[in-house]
Every structure is written in structure tokens, then in C-alpha cells.
Amino acid sequence: MNVANLQLEGLMMAVASINNLLVHKGLLSIDDINIALRKVEASVTGDERTHEEMSPANRDAICFPIRLLQIANNAQGEADVPPFSELAKMVGQTKEPYNDQR
């Protein structure tokens, strides 16, 4: 596996853990984090360059970390964040096609 992929995996899990802590400390709500992540995904997917110049696979690659963090945010409980492999699987299971893929 590419070292950069491992670094990104670690970064995503660190952000998911920080989000979990922010919620459990009462500084942000799960909804607050969801709104922020939905806004950034809409911004990324609404970008003309992303839509017109990138393949659906590349768009998915850009959105993967955002979607993983959304799922981690919604899956959090009193325990820690679910493992990366479980979150990645859930991203794949919940992915919907883009408008130009229908």
C-alpha cells in the first residue's frame, strides 16, 4: 500500500476522533458536524472543475474522506470511533451515483 494512503487513513481517523471528542465534550453536536461536512461535500461536488473535468471515480476519491467522517460522526456512541476498515466499507455501501451516472 502507498505510504500516502496510510498517512491519509491516519489523518481521517484523527479527525474522526477529534470530532467524537468535540461532541462528547458538548462543544459541537453531531448535527453541527454533519452540517459542516455536508456543506464541504456540496462545495466540492458543485465545483465546475470537479464536475466537468473529473471522472466519477476521481470525484468519489475526493469525497471519500468527507463521507467517511460523516459516517464516523453518525456511528459514534459512548465508545471510540469504529475502525477505518468498517467505516470505509460503510462508505462504499452508502455511495449513490452522481447525476451524470444515471
What are the CA-CA distances from residue 45 to residues 9, 57, 58, 62, 84 (Å)?
Answer: 21, 12, 11, 9, 23
pLDDT at 10 over 90: yes
pLDDT at residue 81, rounded to an integer:
86
pTM: 0.83
- pLDDT digits over 17-42, tens only? 999 999 999 999 999 999 999 999 99
- pLDDT digits over 43-102, tens only? 888 877 766 788 888 888 889 999 999 999 998 776 688 899 999 999 988 877 655 555
pLDDT at residue 52, rounded to an integer:
75
Residue carrying the nine cell digits 461532541: 23
- Amino acid code (one letter) for 29: S
